[in-house]
């Protein structure tokens, strides 16, 4: 009996010691960074390998390689995610060469690579290109007709996603390409209750060159002395001379209210120290422009600057995996004149917590598209998002003979062959 008692005491003592050690360990971790868990749980660190299989269609090179050869600038602009995703999938372990066992089907068509001399993509041929690609895969493989695209995904990183137009009114008018109605869209555009964002889409960050950003890192003990930082246009004089159209007047409002406020370091200049300045700032403004998303969000996250998002109803990248409410500050467009009051009334503890969350390396990794791909980067988050949608429900697979898509819907110009 006495041995028993001693044994019990020993076990209790051990348990106590272990608990305190564990508590100390977790506390040490909390000093620098904090774990990120969004509405889907702690999913930023999931590994998609083994959870899904992707089949990559072999399209003729006129849909991808030839376009890239014609204009290699597509590799560095902010829509380059479509090209890098293709390259990643070709050599990823989730790729399968057997389409019968695939959960998802990927069509490598570079719709955002028709660039003007200035480097901006023209979306006028994209609907025809997409349609022609879909016609090809539906006629050469049976998998499209099996589900009418419900287990296919497409990467459409352009301004308004699959609406294929840069002007919002025209994009809304066109709506999402009818043939893509059942497919999963991976796009940068995200705005709630908007025609161009359909349910089940995966929002991704725009492409930002990782090496360029790494090259401009400064030591982390450089004190953050700028309160609010922003560089960019406030008025788009070329396309919207009177103001009020561009950014729904929000950027102009920021300028008019805070141009002489010493806390706000805002201007339209293009300094060479742009990245370094962001690392010396506490808040970085990320207002909408012609579209609600911008690479500024990615840059702010990489450089540890709290993003102040001024875009009503925006859907941010990987919104189910990343708790953006806890990381960034959301300001309604009508509250822009009170921006200084809002920012200075945030409690200090909240700001420090946001900075700790931003310092988490998994947060920064999730926003990047590095080459070659690293674990937990944006490619893997896209795959995680696709894996979370599995298994496909019964409506995915159509009964034989059932047809839902209307192949002749849409503007007449889209029906011309590409």
User: Nearest-CA neighbor of 169 among 291, 252, 286?
Assistant: 291
Distance in Å, CB of 296 to another protein, minimum: 7
| SS3 at position 106 | strand
The answer for 244, left when phi > 0, alpha when psi is -120 to 50, beta otherwise, is left
Contact predicate 231/264, CB 8 Å: no
Distance in Å, CB of 6 to another protein, minimum: 37
Distance in Å, CB of 104 to another protein, minimum: 27
Nearer to another protein, 183 or 343 (CB): 343
Nearer to another protein, 166 or 418 (CB): 166
Contact predicate 133/107, CB 8 Å: yes
Contact predicate 123/116, CB 8 Å: no
Distances from the Cα of 138 to the Cαs of 107, 143, 148, 201, 392, in angstroms?
Answer: 11, 7, 9, 22, 20
Distance in Å, CB of 189 to another protein, minimum: 13
Q: Which residues pair with 96 in a beta bridge?
A: none
Nearer to another protein, 19 or 32 (CB): 32
Distance in Å, CB of 260 to another protein, minimum: 6
Nearer to another protein, 87 or 231 (CB): 231
Distance in Å, CB of 26 to another protein, minimum: 17
10 Å CB burial of residue 259 (0-12, 13-18, 19+) is exposed
Residues 6+ apart with CB under 8 A from 311: 191, 250, 286, 287, 288, 292, 293, 333
Distance in Å, CB of 31 to another protein, minimum: 7
Axis-axis angle for helices 2-32, 348-359 (nearest 10): 90
**CA quadruple 10, 11, 16, 19: dihedral sign:** positive
Nearer to another protein, 93 or 241 (CB): 241
Cα 348 to its chain centre, rounded Å, is 28
User: Nearest-CA neighbor of 385 among 190, 166, 127?
Assistant: 190
Nearer to another protein, 294 or 384 (CB): 294
Contact predicate 307/331, CB 8 Å: no
Nearer to another protein, 107 or 191 (CB): 191
Nearer to another protein, 40 or 195 (CB): 195
Distance in Å, CB of 3 to another protein, minimum: 42
Cα 261 to its chain centre, rounded Å, is 32
User: Dmax of the chain from CA atoms?
Assistant: 91
Contact predicate 310/234, CB 8 Å: no
Nearer to another protein, 11 or 346 (CB): 346
Distance in Å, CB of 338 to another protein, minimum: 7
Nearer to another protein, 51 or 231 (CB): 231
How far apart are alpha carbons 179 and 149 in whole angstroms? Answer: 8
Local structure of residue 49 (DSSP, 8 states): B
């Amino acid at each position: 009996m006495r041995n028993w008692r001693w044994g019990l005491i020993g076990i209790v003592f051990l348990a106590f010691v272990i608990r305190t050690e564990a508590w100390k360990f977790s506390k040490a971790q909390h000093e620098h960074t904090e774990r990120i868990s969004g509405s889907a749980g702690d999913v930023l660190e999931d590994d998609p390998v083994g959870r899904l299989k992707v089949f990559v269609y072999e399209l003729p090179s006129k849909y991808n390689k030839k376009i890239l050869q014609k204009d290699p600038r597509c590799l560095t602009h902010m829509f380059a995610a479509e090209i890098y995703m293709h390259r990643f999938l070709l050599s990823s372990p989730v790729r399968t060469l057997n389409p019968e066992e695939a959960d998802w089907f990927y069509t490598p068509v570079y719709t955002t690579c028709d660039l003007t001399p200035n480097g901006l993509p023209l979306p006028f041929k994209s609907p025809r290109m997409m349609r022609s690609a879909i016609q090809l895969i539906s006629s050469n493989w049976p998998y499209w007709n099996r589900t009418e695209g419900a287990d296919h995904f497409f990467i459409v990183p352009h301004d308004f996603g699959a609406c294929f137009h840069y002007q919002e009114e025209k994009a809304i008018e066109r709506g999402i390409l009818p043939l893509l109605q059942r497919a999963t869209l991976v796009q940068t555009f995200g705005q709630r209750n908007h025609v161009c964002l359909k349910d089940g889409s995966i929002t991704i960050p725009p492409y930002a060159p990782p090496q360029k950003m790494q090259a401009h890192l400064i030591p982390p003990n450089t004190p953050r002395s700028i309160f609010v930082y922003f560089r960019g246009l406030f008025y788009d004089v070329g396309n919207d001379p009177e103001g009020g159209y561009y950014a729904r007047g929000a950027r102009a409002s920021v300028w008019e209210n805070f141009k002489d406020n010493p806390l706000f370091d805002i201007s339209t200049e293009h300094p060479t120290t742009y990245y370094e300045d962001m690392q010396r700032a506490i808040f970085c403004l990320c207002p909408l422009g012609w579209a609600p998303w911008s690479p500024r969000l990615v840059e702010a996250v990489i450089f540890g600057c709290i993003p102040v998002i001024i875009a009503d109803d925006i859907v941010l990248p990987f919104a189910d995996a990343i708790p953006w409410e806890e990381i960034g500050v959301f300001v309604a467009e009508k509250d822009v004149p009170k921006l200084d009051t809002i920012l200075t009334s945030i409690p200090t503890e909240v700001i420090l917590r946001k900075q700790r969350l931003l310092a988490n390396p998994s947060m920064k990794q999730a926003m990047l598209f590095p080459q070659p791909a690293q674990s937990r980067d944006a490619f893997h988050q896209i795959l995680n998002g696709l894996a979370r949608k599995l298994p496909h429900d019964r409506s995915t697979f159509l009964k034989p003979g059932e047809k839902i898509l209307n192949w002749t819907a849409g503007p007449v110009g889209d029906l011309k062959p590409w």
